[in-house]
Amino acid sequence: MVEAILGDLRIDLNVCAAFGGHPALCVYPSHEAMRRARQEGFATTMLPAISTADCLFADLGVDPGRDGCRMFDVTEFLARRPSLDPQTGLILFQVGTLRRRGALRSLKEMLCEKYPATHPVVIYEAALVTTWQPFIRRVALSSLQPSALTWVSTLYLPPTKRPPVDREMAERLGLIRSTRSDTDLRQ
Ligand SMILES: C[S@@+](CC[C@H](N)C(=O)[O-])C[C@H]1O[C@@H](n2cnc3c(N)ncnc32)[C@H](O)[C@@H]1O
């Protein structure tokens, strides 16, 4: 794909490459084609678009500004083992690649180091056509099976619990009065 894009640029065509969802999210050829085109002196622009994450926030009613949200390509996640914070949401893309034997077990083992085995995991597929319904299935982390995943599945792990309000900071910012409880944070 990178060579196809660059090949057309090199014969002086104006090139527009379209990718599914947001061109920056989990799309190697978009980043690589732009990097190499710039290196060769071509002007490049990436335009934003609606990603799987945007659809997921809307369909699951998730506000990533409230609890935070981290997202990874699942292979990067498994290979690099970033620190896990179960107090923020977690989105894992390309989980369809885990359908081969053993890989999903490795993911579950890694997640179970920080999440309870009963923690709900959402298997999510955004509707491909706006009049269709999204596919949303909640299963316990320990019950997640390869057969439940497809090539368009994305996994979402909601936070286990919200961190408590730092009362001193909240008071300093005028978000709370000392007599009030955590739930009375001013919006
Ligand atoms: C190569 S990445 C491309 C992501 C895309 N650029 C985006 O912005 O959504 C493919 C992965 O995106 C996710 N994905 C793509 N289409 C989806 C859909 N309709 N519902 C849920 N996840 C989807 C899946 O995790 C899939 O494995």
Q: What average pLDDT does the segment 136-144 reach? A: 97
Predicted confidence band of residue 99 (pLDDT cuts 50, 70, 90) = confident
Q: Which of 77, 136, 154, 155 should be mutated for ligand 1, with most atoms under 8 A from CB?
A: 154
* pLDDT at residue 159, as a whole number: 97
Predicted confidence (pLDDT) at residue 124 exceeds the cutoff of 90 = yes
Sheet containing 89-93: give its strands across: 69-73, 89-93, 154-157, 120-125, 135-140
Predicted confidence band of residue 127 (pLDDT cuts 50, 70, 90) = very high
Give the CATH fold of the 52-157 domain: 3.30.950
The domain spans of the chain are 2-39, 52-157
Alpha carbon nearest to ligand 1 atom 14, residue: 152
* pLDDT at residue 35, as a whole number: 98
* pLDDT at residue 41, as a whole number: 97
Q: What average pLDDT does the segment 79-95 reach? A: 97
* pLDDT at residue 130, as a whole number: 85
Ligand 1 is surrounded, with C-beta below 6 A, by 19-22, 25-27, 51-52, 93-94, 96, 124-126, 128, 152, 154
